Structure 1
Amino acid sequence: MTTEFTLEICQKENIEKIIEGINEYNLSKVPATANIWEPLEFVVKDKNGSEIGGILAGIGYWKGLDIKVLWVNEKHRQKGIGTTLLKHVEKIAKEKGVKISMLDTFDFQAENFYLKNGYESVGEIKNFPKGHRRIYFSKNLIE
């Protein structure tokens, strides 16, 4: 069987084309209600200027807050840093008209943290990684 295509490792310019392609397709099905991606990324530093936490999130083109990473250094946990970061991006998102926040975490990471902060589990993958669960959460930001 002869193929009419090749399969290659992505280069930076290929990645941009792939993202552009999926965005074009998605937006042909459901029009955007916001910019393609508006980053909401913040870092927390201690008094010495060292990074002790941060959040990488953003608002997508259908006005959803997508939280990619929320991290707090183990020595600084249980001090309200994670909650402060989470509430900060939620507040900004709400001010911009965002109605829903979404994220995923693992059972060994922050499952209880998100439950305490009003998130609800909307699905999970069992035994991934082995012996654990990957949990998907969402939260309505505007009641």
Structure 2
Amino acid sequence: MKEKFIIQPCQKQNITAIIKGINTYNVNKVPALAPAWTPLEFVIKDENGKEIGGVLSGIGCWNGLEIRILWVAEAYRGMGIGTQLLNHIETIAASKGAEIAMLDTFDFQAEGFYLKNGYTVIGEIKGFPKGHRRIYLSKLLRP
């Protein structure tokens, strides 16, 4: 007899179970070198306390710095703020044992910025979104 399965929207407890499930599977295949996730999340503000940029990133269980979002307000781009944020998290990550940084961006976002900061393109998806490219980059970190 064939079992019936039901697909439903996730609740918070479901998300926790999914994350725990994949993390358990992963560390059974490759032992963890660090806690499952160490957040490195920072905001940068102007002299009036206005948020003008920030970074959402963290170190995963195999000592990789994963940069999920790095943003600088348009009026402040080209002033070195993005590089300052990037250097800040790379330095902290390396001091905590991270050996590599990784991220993805789009051709209309920050490909040139990351190349200028020592990242190497390791892959891309052409035509996503239509007429553009999604680019995957990495960089070896030196403590």
> Which residue is 1:76 aligned to?
76
Q: Counterpart amino acid of 2:84? A: T
> Which residue is 1:137 aligned to?
137
Matched, 1:5 2:37: no
> Which residue is 2:113 aligned to?
113
Rounded to whole Å, the distance in 2 between the matches of 1:141 and 1:2 is 51
- Quote the sequence identity (%): 64
Unaligned runs of 5+ in 2: none
Instruction: Report the CA distance between 1:96 and its aligned residue.
Output: 1.3
Matched, 1:14 2:14: yes
> Which residue is 1:36 aligned to?
36
Unaligned runs of 5+ in 1: none
Matched, 1:26 2:35: no
What is the DSSP-based 3-state SS (H/G/I as helix, E as strand, rest coil) of the residue aligned with 2:93?
helix
Instruction: Report the CA distance between 1:142 and its aligned residue.
Output: 2.4
Cα deviations by residue, 1:36-69 (Å, 9 ceiling, x for unpaired):
0000000001111111000000000000000000
Instruction: Report the CA distance between 1:5 and its aligned residue.
Output: 1.5
Rounded to whole Å, the distance in 2 between the matches of 1:2 and 1:29 is 30
Rounded to whole Å, the distance in 1 between the matches of 2:117 and 2:58 is 18
TM-score (norm 1): 0.97
Instruction: Report the CA distance between 1:130 and its aligned residue.
Output: 0.3
Instruction: Report the CA distance between 1:2 and its aligned residue.
Output: 5.0
Instruction: Report the CA distance between 1:22 and its aligned residue.
Output: 0.3
Instruction: Report the CA distance between 1:4 and its aligned residue.
Output: 2.3
